[in-house]
Amino acid sequence: MNAPYTVADYLVDRLADCGADHLFGVPGDYNLQFLDHVIAHRTVRWVGCANELNAAYAADGYARVQGFGALLTTYGVGELSALNGVAGSFAERVPVLHIVGAPCTGAQQRRECLHHTLGDGNFDHFRQMSAPISVAQGVLDARNACAEIDRVLSEIMRHKRPGYLLLPADVAALPVARPVSALTAQATDAENPQLESFSQMARKLLQPCHRISVLADVLALRFGQQSVLNQWMQEVPIPHATLLMGKGLFNERHPAFAGTYSGGASHPQTREAIEDAEVIICIGTCFTDTITAGFTHRITPKNSIEIQPFAARVGERWFSGIAMSEAIQALIAVSKAFSAQWQTYRRQLSAPVTVDSGHLTQRHFWQALEKHLRPNDIVLADQGTAAFGIAALTLPEGASLIVQPLWGSIGFTLPAAFGAQTSQADRRVVLVIGDGAAQLTIQELSSMLRDGQRPLILLLNNEGYTVERAIHGPEQRYNDISLWNWTQVPQALNLDCQAECWKVSNASQLNDALARAERGDKLTLLEVMLPKMDIPPLLKAVTQALEARNGEH
């Protein structure tokens, strides 16, 4: 006799519909029966993590390259541990479903004093805590389970933000009908009448111009416009750039790519290409303090066109309800009509990189790394010296970058690298992380080793929180950390460790180690010894701006 088709089966099938072939998390007694259905599923694989925070980070990294991610925790203690990671997904528009295994419905109705609760009989506390960092929440019961699963997942996919489902253990086991069709994105409404008005105003603004620039960022990436924008730049070579959060959106080897725009801290050539245009087309931009060096960007509504996921602006006038894809297509049509009169742009290439063999500095490190990056790499750079150092690099074609400059939770990238590699087993993952950040989430290195992953991990050892030293208190002991023997850590985290670990302290050693690591046959950890107070130029500008703002009254 076949086992009945249940709510648990329905939910796992819907995860597969959304593109999640893996479910990250930590088991707990309230989600174990649901997990049996995950294990039995034909395509979705369970991926256990070292803790719930790391699982949330891993689901985020997975979703950034897969398009959707899912996370499972147990009620109370598990879900609260994951909230920091989920909040980062909400801030940076990453579609992740957080499933919480909960006590049985009857126990909740009787207000029993159960473990993992606050002991007051109220089982809605933690859902309320998740509400501000989720685009939709559902509490599943016998009557609404399937409809609520579909509703929450649809909202996640539409808005590219996390959602929350509370799944009582008894509800997971209830029989339901199989879905009659796959869960797909809802068809867009009939053409918005404002689209034509937007197009006409854009045409009027652009018609007399000779210098145009495009600044696209993270939301263009999240809402699936990468290939469209790159094709546009191939056909109409407008000077274009990204902010740090959207770096990797464009082919950075394109001759009209102007670099990574960082407001007043930008390379002069980048700043001129973007800011000196008569009209700046901003697509999916999010101007945060850290990536604009303290809001030093010079882009005003008067001389810009802005496209966001569900609205667009020309000058001071907003047009609501226009999909990003529609607005971009309208601008592409306008640009083809006027591009003959627009000035062309070609990036001035830097002199060939020469790396000496002397004492390692931040400059030496980033020069060497750029030389060894390969097309289609997935590169992750943790908040701090890593993220702001990577901003100055020109990525190879097809490379993806994962950074978290808005939420800025240090340690995020190590579990996120695990999630990204789980999604893309055939692509090389390159992780750059500081020693202070790595201490927060190093346990997930054991999951990489367990699953046979082979990332290249570049651990920057500058003896503590260098980014914080640069902001305030360079000699204060609150910016110090316990110093670890990093090259021995992988052996401690896996009994059958198949990793290569090297410690490098000069540029020649670094280049040799990076060349050896290109074999990619094992997980490779390079401990890179760097001066305690050496920081990339962009980070210096950012930390000065942050220190000034933190001192304001």
Enumerate the known binding-site residues. Answer: 435, 462, 464
What's the token pair of residue 156? 């996640």
**Residue 408 falls in the annotated catalytic set:** yes
Catalytic residue among 78, 408, 419, 436: 408
**Residue 119 falls in the annotated catalytic set:** no
CB-CB neighbours of 375 under 10 Å: 12
**Residue 435 falls in the annotated catalytic set:** yes
**Residue 464 falls in the annotated catalytic set:** yes
Q: What is the C-alpha radius of gyration for the chain, rounded to an integer number of angstroms?
A: 24
* Pairing outcome for strands 163-168 and 136-139: parallel
Q: Are 324 and 332 in contact (CB under 8 A)?
A: no
For tokens 């490779």, what's the residue?
A: 524
Provide CB contacts within 8 A for 182, sequence distance 6+.
17
Find the angle CA(455)-CA(457)-CA(462) to the nearest 5 degrees. 175
The alpha carbon torsion through 10, 12, 15, 16 (nearest 10 deg) reads -100
Q: Are 121 and 112 in contact (CB under 8 A)?
A: yes
**Known binding-site positions for Mg(2+):** 435, 462, 464
List, in sequence order, every beta strand (DSSP E) within 50-95: 69-74
**Residue 52 falls in the annotated catalytic set:** yes
**Residue 124 falls in the annotated catalytic set:** no
Catalytic residue among 9, 60, 170, 435: 435
Q: Are 20 and 68 in contact (CB under 8 A)?
A: yes
Q: Identify the three-state secondary structure at position 92.
A: coil
Catalytic residue among 88, 464, 500, 511: 464
Catalytic residue among 36, 278, 468, 512: 468
List, in sequence order, every beta strand (DSSP E) within 222-375: 240-242, 257-260, 279-283, 304-308, 311-314, 317-320
**Residue 463 falls in the annotated catalytic set:** no
HSE-up of residue 243 (Cα within 13 Å, Cβ side): 27
Catalytic residue among 19, 84, 116, 315: 116
- Among residues 457, 546, 449, which one has the least CA distance to residue 496? 449
**Residue 29 falls in the annotated catalytic set:** yes
Supply the residues annotated as catalytic: 29, 52, 115-116, 408, 435, 462, 464, 468
